[in-house]
Amino acid sequence: MIKRLLAMAVALSFSGLAFADQDGERPCGIPSSIVNKIQSQLAAVVQLNNGAIFGQIFPGPNRMWSAVVDRQGQVCSVMKIGDAWPNSRAIAIAKAGTANGFSNDALALSTANLYSATQPGGSLYGLNNSNPFNPDFLPQGSGIGRVAGGIITFGGGVALYSGGKVIGGLGVSGDSACADHAIAYRMRAAAGFDGIPAGVGAGGKDNIDYLGTNEAPNGFKHPHCFPAIDVTP
């Protein structure tokens, strides 16, 4: 009887482990070759012009986090260059997830496009609270293969497209929201995953569309981060 109970306990413990594994970390839905191709653009883009274009907060070499998620929102890759803010890691992941989660094969929305609509009185006000970031994934090194969640509604996140379909999202954080958007936008283009179907931003794309001076939030526009510097990609 005791042997039978022990056997049952062992069987239950293994079934529990199997369930936890099935419900936990999963392989990324984007081939590693594609993820590497996207992430390899980070250093090249942020060093463009020695930081003169993007260094709104940090002049010179930038300090930046970059994250890629697949279509299911699972974190595929997180990397950084320089002494980037630790808190920007979670923001980069959330930006990638937001852009992926609000884009499809008919319309691409960058996180910059969501700014105005999520302000008080906007049609999407409250969106930021719809999908909280899981704090278990805040420490560095955690979250790969899991859905971390989070909603960010300022610049720095773009959806990734291949063959007219969304395959995931790219998020960048570490400078101003405008510079973050410009870096993510250029990284995606350099890697060749910018074939979006349509957008609501500048040029009919999902590009950042700046509000005018003293213009109240409206449509899908985003404020200038620093009036004297325009980092439109």
Of residues 126, 64, 62, 137, the one with CA closest to residue 94: 137
Residue 180, number of CB atoms within 10 A of its CB: 34
| pLDDT value for 16 | 27
State residue 11's pLDDT score.
Answer: 34
DSSP 32-56: HHHHHHHHTHHHHHHTGGGGTTT-S
The whole-angstrom distance between residue 171's C-alpha and the CA centroid of its chain comes to 3
Per-residue model confidence (pLDDT) at position 54 = 64
Give pLDDT, residue 213: 87
Pick from 151, 154, 170, 150: nearest CA to 116 = 154
| CA-angle at 205, arms to 113 and 231, nearest 5° | 70
Closest CA to 163 of 128, 116, 120, 196: 196
Domain 28-191: give its CATH superfamily. Haem-degrading domain (3.30.450.150)
Neighbouring-strand partners of residue 79: 66
Whether the CB-CB separation of 93 and 137 falls below 8 Å is answered with yes
Strand partners of residue 64: 81
| Tens digits of residue pLDDT in 95-147 | 999 999 999 999 999 999 999 999 999 999 999 999 999 999 988 888 999 99
Domain ranges of the chain: 28-191
DSSP label of 150: -
Instruction: Tell me which residue has tokens 């063959």.
Output: 163
How do 165-173 and 64-70 pair as beta strands? Answer: antiparallel
The span from the CA of 85 to the CA of 153, in Å, is: 19
What pLDDT does 13 receive?
A: 30
CB 189 within 8 A of CB 170: no
Within 10 Å of residue 15's Cβ, how many Cβ atoms?
10
Q: What is the pTM of this model?
A: 0.86
Amino acid occupying residue 202: A
The torsion region of residue 115 among left (phi > 0), alpha (psi -120 to 50) and beta comes to alpha
- Low pLDDT (below 50) residues in the chain: 1-23
